[in-house]
Amino acid sequence: MSSSQRYDKHFTLEMCNRPLSTLAETESVLIDKCQRALDDGTIKDPIEKLRFLCLARGASGFSALGRAFRRLDHDGKRHISLKQFTKGLRDAGMDVSDEDAKEIFKRFDTDGRGTINMSEFLNKIRPPMSQRRLNIIGEAFRKLDKEGYGHITIKDLKHVYSVQHDPMYTSGELTEEQILNRFLADFEEGSSINDGKVTQEEFESYYAGVSASMDDDAFFDLVMRQLYNL
């Protein structure tokens, strides 16, 4: 089942001049679609259900899950146990039963060692993206992370992330600083980690959620280029 809203070429071209407002509209459609699918009980596979639970949270769903796991990765080895995995799901606000959590964990614990790799799990649970989309996301992150620290902050966003197309900015409702802070907060939504830092994995997870609302690679590329002046 595709998790994207279909748009014809004429609609896409018409919307190119206001990508952020269009992005909000497509995300709203996706959230509603995923929530309805969850409510009607037709999704039985626990992994697919978790994917829809993340998508029903909007673009921040996958990044919130990643941040919850990061908080539990005390030794920095990127592996977590079943107990940590279940707690991470709860901390991220995912309504997954203990039985389904065990089933998901079992499928990813392929070597039977009792742990799963966080990065591998997140990469597989996120909606697939074309190489073109992965490339533009990577390009945006590298432009932000000029010092190569592996994370970005509000300071990195300034002078790179463009607010010129944001309706809240053009209407005068929010300043550039307010929009940048709100943007960074999107990555931290639903997470107990609010350190003002966004890792590359969290950045990719966030845009995997954004990507799921758009079928057109060219439009996704356009949105990213306008947002980050690429």
Residues in Cβ contact with 139 at an 8 Å cutoff, skipping those fewer than 6 apart: 224, 228, 230
32 pLDDT above the threshold of 80: yes
Task: State the average pLDDT over residues 134-140.
Answer: 95
Give the separation between CA 179 and CA 170, rounded to whole angstroms: 11
Q: Are residues 111 and 180 in the same domain?
A: no
Within a domain: 12 = no
193 and 178 part of one domain: yes
Q: What's the rounded mean pLDDT across residues 9-38?
A: 66
- Range 146-169 average pLDDT: 81
135 with 121, same domain: the answer is: no
Task: Write down which residue in 90, 125, 160 finishes a domain.
Answer: 125
Question: Tell me, what's the pLDDT at 23?
Answer: 66
Q: What confidence score (pLDDT) does residue 81 get?
A: 94
The pLDDT of residue 210 is 87
Domain that holds residue 158: 131-228
Pick from 82, 101, 125: which residue ends a domain?
A: 125
With beta carbons less than 8 A apart as the criterion, state whether 114 and 81 touch: yes
Q: Is residue 86 scored above 90 in pLDDT? A: yes
Do 96 and 177 lie in a common domain? no
Same domain, 86 and 136: no
Number of domains in the chain: 2
Domain annotation covers residue 42: yes
pLDDT tens digits, 122-134: 988 988 899 999 9
Read off the pLDDT band of 10 (50, 70, 90).
Answer: very low
Kindly state whether residues 141 and 115 are assigned to the same domain: no
* Residue 43 sits in the same domain as residue 117: yes
Question: For residue 3, is pLDDT > 50?
Answer: no
4 lies in some domain: no
CATH number of the structural domain spanning residue 165? 1.10.238.10
- Same domain? For 44 and 98 the reply is yes
Last residue within a domain, chosen from 59, 94, 125: 125
Range with the poorest average pLDDT among 131-135, 136-140, 194-198: 194-198
Percent of the chain with pLDDT over 90: 31
pTM recorded for the entire structure = 0.74
